[in-house]
A and B are shown apart, each in its own frame.
Chain A
Amino acid sequence: MQRPEPRDEVEMLALMLLIRRFEERASQQYQAQKIGGFCHLYIGQEAVVVGAVAAGRDDDYVITAYRDHAHALARGTSADACMAELFGKETGCSRGLGGSMHFFDRSRHMYGGHAIVGAHVPLAAGMAFASKYRAEDRVTLCFFGDGAINQGSFHEALNLIALYKLPVVLICENNLFAMGTSVKRSTSLKQIVDRAEGYDIPGEIVDGMNFREVRDKLAEIVCSIRKDPHPAFVEIRTYRYRGHSMSDPASYRTKDELEKYRLDDPITRLRAQLTREGKLTNEKFDQIDKHAKETVLAAVKFAEKSPELPLERLYDYTFINRAKP
């Protein structure tokens, strides 16, 4: 199995910037009450999903929890479709029926967007089961937070995944807090990666603020799974700059802690690496950033002018084939 050509790092930086600018704009639109419900932002964690997606193929299965805007964007879902979803519009990636926590994009193999903590890990097992059943070499990338690892569905799924040797990368985005509860207060283990050992799944710790480390480690794992289906677990250590959701001021952590992580910002770091290596100029960076900002601003305009799903069509989305109860 050939490893795919490494994707252009400047493009990956642009993707991380797009995610950040998208989330900043979502935050602003939420405050302007254009977006309802719960809204969980990914700012600070961009290197995780972009690194992981850069390590896989476009037809690998991606599934995640409710902090999911970035996963759709990273998979190539347009900012328009993502913003329209937040606005509850028919042009959204889930027709405005899913909202912030339920982004789906079938054509880009983005399988959600799941808001019951841990409940999607069994789904990932099923997707990987299907790959193995059909003797395909797709890998399932299953993202979840540190809060999911104490949920029963997670444990049941890990056992099934290990037992049936399913091709899944279990990607724990450890941002240190499950809502307001720190890992230290929720988890009996010294380190999360040790959960994998209990199921005989190989596990590794990865620096989630370092795009290259995430990509390289994941590429190695994905490549080995393609050769011979098996599960792997990575604990990716990261940090969210914002609260758990828009309604959370994050008073359970200190400014010093936040500042420490901000200094290690994944976008700043990749930018510095590329600049040092002569692959990126300040002008080019500014141009990329300007483009990202314009893209999300255009997405807001698109979302605003998009129609809502007509009420009479709601039953079309309850059962397929219009079988009304």
Chain B
Amino acid sequence: MREITYRQALNEALAEELERDPNVFLMGEEVAEYNGAYKVSQGLLERFGPKRIIDTPISENGFAGLGVGAAMVGLRPIIEFMTFSFSLVAFDQVVNNAPNMFTMSGGQFNIPITFRGPNGPAHQLGATHSHATEPLYANAPGLKVCTPATPRDAKGLLKTAVRDDNPVLVLEAELLYSSKGMVEPPDEELLIPLGEAEVKREGSDVSIICYAQTVPLALAVAARLEDEDISAEILDLRSIKPLDEKAIFNSVAKTHRAVIVEQDRPFCGVGAEICYRIQKNIFDELDAPIVRVSQEDVPMPYNERLEKAVLPNADKLIAAVKKVCYA
């Protein structure tokens, strides 16, 4: 194991998959000559050439659709959105074409495509650039959605996504590109299955269910709660769809209390689905009502103080934990 950044981990995943399979190509805005808006594709043009690392004009619908078409005839495109906020321009291709094709064609055309890029609120980018798109995409049957929070998960999930024969969205955490973590050495194949959550910290009093940018938040809060004799278990979903129900139920059955901290908005958010499944399946295990911590239900303000107030934060999460623990 060695320590690398989330960005480097993604870069390694791309390079390894491009190396492994000549049908894989990377396409998007600024991915080639500029080395990626967030430098995730650094050095790939030099290594793999312009046939496989392809710059596009600013036409998200166009190049997302091009990817779907190429996937119909056997290529395995990786389509980068400069941010998933821009994927909304390509919503029709991602939601209507990529996942529907397999069903609509009676199973003749699966779409082995990976859509990837930064997702979730960053820092003072305003309402148009701060979308957490996971509930939008998880709602579309036929799409898989993963949300890595650590360099290791980023590498392992992206590599798995590229090899999946279905359309997969890798929603990278915009604020975590420079974060570091331990990852297996490059000569060791790292594949993390979609739909497998991971306990990032064992605990016994409360389960904090989180993903993407809320994972480091939850881990920091768990450390603070320890001082108050509350032992929090941190369950990182890693994939939103497929959802690892079993891991959620196991954790909640152990702690009997659950807080869901999500980076999206509350209405029809990821936490709403998890709440529903917990109460439906293991209602008797619960010692307290489940509490959700999410964004406020407003378009993201630019103002720094207001933005902080809209986002989930440590104070909100601690308050939620204390509420479910009657502490």
Contact = CB atoms under 8 A, between A and B. Distances in A.
Contacts of A116: 92, 96-97
B108 A319 contact: no
B165 A320 contact: yes
Interface string A12-45: 0000000000000000000000000000000000
Given A156-B61, A319-B166, A325-B241, A126 B103 contact: no
Contacts of B101: 112
B51 interface: yes
Interface band, chain B: 35 or more
A130 interface: yes
A97 B104 contact: yes
B242 A123 contact: no
Interface in B28-75: 51, 56-57, 59, 61-75
B66 A129 contact: yes
A129 B105 contact: no
B59 A123 contact: no
Contacts of A125: 62, 65-66, 69
Contacts of B144: 319, 323, 325
Interface stretch (A98-106, A171-179, A228-236): A98-106
B112 to A, nearest CB: 8
A122 B66 CA distance: 5
Nearest to B96: A116
Interface in B112-141: 141
A112 B243 CA distance: 32
Q: Looking at A126, A160, A317, A320, which has the most chain B CB atoms within 10 Å of its CB?
A: A126
Interface string B136-176: 00000110100000000000000000001110000000000
Interface string B74-118: 110100000000000000110011000111111111100000000
Contacts of A128: 69
Interface in A259-286: none
B102 A320 contact: yes
A244 B81 CA distance: 36
Interface stretch (A87-95, A189-197, A201-209, A298-306): A87-95
Q: Looking at B57, B61, B63, B242, which has the most chain A CB atoms within 10 Å of its CB?
A: B61
Contacts of B102: 317-320
B64 A160 contact: no
Contacts of A124: 69
A320 B62 contact: no
A153 interface: yes
Interface string A119-140: 1111111111111010000000
Interface string A153-172: 10011011001000000000
B108 to A, nearest CB: 4
B106 A95 contact: yes
A129 B103 CA distance: 24
Given A122-B93, A126-B72, A157 B62 contact: yes
A317 B77 CA distance: 21
B61 A92 contact: no
B25 interface: yes
Contacts of A114: 97
B93 A98 contact: no
Given A112-B105, A113-B104, A156-B59, A126 B69 contact: yes
A111 B65 CA distance: 14
A127 B96 CA distance: 18
A94 B108 contact: yes
Contacts of A145: none
A147 interface: no
B255 to A, nearest CB: 26
Interface in A65-107: 92-98, 102, 104-106
Contact of A152 (B25, B61, B68): B61
B106 A127 contact: no
Q: Looking at A92, A319, A320, A321, which has the most chain B CB atoms within 10 Å of its CB?
A: A319
Contacts of A119: 65, 92-93, 96-97
Contact of B242 (A122, A157, A323): A323
A126 B67 contact: yes
B242 A325 contact: yes
Contacts of A163: 57
A220 interface: no
Interface in B174-212: 194-195
Given A95-B107, A156-B62, A127 B242 contact: no
B179 to A, nearest CB: 29
B144 to A, nearest CB: 8
A144 interface: no
A129 B57 contact: no
Given A97-B103, A104-B109, A130-B73, 15 more contacts: A63-B69, A93-B106, A95-B107, A114-B97, A120-B65, A122-B93, A123-B68, A126-B73, A152-B61, A153-B92, A160-B57, A317-B106, A319-B144, A321-B165, A323-B195
Interface of B: 25, 51, 56-57, 59, 61-75, 77, 92-93, 96-97, 101-110, 141-142, 144, 164-166, 194-195, 241-243
27 contacts: A63-B69, A98-B104, A104-B108, A106-B105, A106-B109, A113-B104, A113-B105, A114-B97, A116-B97, A119-B93, A119-B97, A122-B93, A126-B65, A126-B67, A126-B77, A129-B66, A156-B62, A159-B59, A160-B57, A317-B103, A319-B166, A320-B107, A320-B110, A321-B165, A323-B166, A323-B195, A325-B242
Interface of A: 61, 63, 92-98, 102, 104-106, 111-114, 116, 119-131, 133, 152-153, 156-157, 159-160, 163, 316-321, 323-325
Counting from the closest, the 5 A-B pairs by CB-CB distance are A126-B69, A122-B65, A95-B106, A156-B62, A123-B69
